[in-house]
Structure 1
Amino acid sequence: MREFVRNAGVENLPDTLRGGVVAIGNFDGVHRGHQTVLQHALESAYKHKRPPVVLTFEPHPRSVFRPDIPLFRLTPAPMKARLFEAMGFDGVVEQPFTREFSQLSPEAFVHAMLIDGLGAAEAVTGFDFHYGKGRAGTPETLKQAGERYRFDVTRVDAFSDEGGEVVSSSRIRALLSQGKAAEAAGLLGYRYTVAGEVKNGKKLGRTLGYPTANMVLPEGTDLLHGIYAVRFRRANGTIHDGVASFGRRPTVEDEGAPLLETFVFDLDADLYGETCAVSLFGLLRGEEKFDSLDALVARMKQDEAEARALLSDVRPLSELDRCIAFST
Structure 2
Amino acid sequence: MTVFHRNETKQRLPEALCGGVVAIGNFDGVHRGHQSVLNRALAIAGDQGIPALVLTFEPHPRTVFRPETPVFRLTPAPLKARILEGMGFSAVIEYPFDRSFSETSAGDFIRATLMEWLHAAHVVTGFDFHFGKGREGGPAFLMAAGQENGFGVTLVDAFRDENASVVSSSFIRSLLADGAVSEAAAQLGYRYTVEAEVIAGKQLGRTLGYPTANMQLPPEAELRNGIYAVRFRRADGTLHDGVASFGRRPTVDADGAPLLETFVFDFSGDLYGETCSVSFFGHLRDELKFDGLDALVVQMKRDEEEARALLAGVRPFGVIDRAVCF
Common fold: TM-score over 0.5: yes
1:21 alignment counterpart: 21
Aligned mates of 1:71, 1:251 — CA distance in 2: 30
* Map 1:1-328 → 2, pairs under 5 A: 4-9=1-6, 11-12=10-11, 13-326=13-326
Aligned mates of 1:242, 1:16 — CA distance in 2: 42
Aligned amino acid, residue 250 of structure 1: P
Structure 1 residue 201: Cα displacement: 1.0
Aligned mates of 2:19, 2:279 — CA distance in 1: 35
Task: Work out whether residues 158 and 166 of structure 1, in 8 Å CA contact, stay in contact via their aligned partners in 2.
Answer: yes
Aligned mates of 1:162, 1:151 — CA distance in 2: 34
Aligned mates of 1:56, 1:62 — CA distance in 2: 14
Task: Work out whether residues 70 and 219 of structure 1, in 8 Å CA contact, stay in contact via their aligned partners in 2.
Answer: no
Task: Work out whether residues 30 and 75 of structure 1, in 8 Å CA contact, stay in contact via their aligned partners in 2.
Answer: yes
Structure 1 residue 17: Cα displacement: 2.1
Structure 1 residue 15: Cα displacement: 2.3
Provide TM-score, normalisation by structure 2: 0.97
Task: Work out whether residues 177 and 222 of structure 1, in 8 Å CA contact, stay in contact via their aligned partners in 2.
Answer: yes
Unaligned runs of 5+ in 2: none
Structure 1 residue 212: Cα displacement: 0.5
Q: How many residues align?
A: 323
Structure 1 residue 14: Cα displacement: 2.4
Percent of matched pairs sharing the same residue: 64
Aligned mates of 1:136, 1:251 — CA distance in 2: 54
Aligned mates of 1:290, 1:9 — CA distance in 2: 52
SS at match of 1:305: helix
SS at match of 1:195: strand
Structure 1 residue 135: Cα displacement: 1.2
Provide TM-score, normalisation by structure 1: 0.97
Task: Work out whether residues 127 and 157 of structure 1, in 8 Å CA contact, stay in contact via their aligned partners in 2.
Answer: yes
Aligned mates of 2:294, 2:171 — CA distance in 1: 39
Aligned mates of 1:237, 1:259 — CA distance in 2: 23
SS at match of 1:323: helix
SS at match of 2:117: coil
Superposed CA RMSD: 0.9
Structure 1 residue 157: Cα displacement: 0.4
Aligned amino acid, residue 200 of structure 1: A
Aligned mates of 2:35, 2:92 — CA distance in 1: 15
Structure 1 residue 260: Cα displacement: 0.6
Instruction: Deviation per CA, 1:79-131: give whole Å up to 9, x if none.
Output: 10000000000010000000000000110111121011211000100112111
SS at match of 1:297: helix
Structure 1 residue 296: Cα displacement: 0.9
Task: Work out whether residues 33 and 167 of structure 1, in 8 Å CA contact, stay in contact via their aligned partners in 2.
Answer: yes
Task: Work out whether residues 126 and 157 of structure 1, in 8 Å CA contact, stay in contact via their aligned partners in 2.
Answer: yes
Task: Work out whether residues 9 and 94 of structure 1, in 8 Å CA contact, stay in contact via their aligned partners in 2.
Answer: yes
Aligned mates of 1:220, 1:188 — CA distance in 2: 20
Aligned amino acid, residue 87 of structure 1: M
The ranges of structure 1 where at least 4 consecutive aligned residues each deviate by more than 3 angstroms after the TM superposition are none
Aligned mates of 2:160, 2:168 — CA distance in 1: 9
Task: Work out whether residues 62 and 70 of structure 2, in 8 Å CA contact, stay in contact via their aligned partners in 1.
Answer: no
Aligned mates of 1:66, 1:185 — CA distance in 2: 28
Instruction: Deviation per CA, 1:143-163: give whole Å up to 9, x if none.
Output: 110111111111000000000
Task: Work out whether residues 227 and 287 of structure 1, in 8 Å CA contact, stay in contact via their aligned partners in 2.
Answer: yes
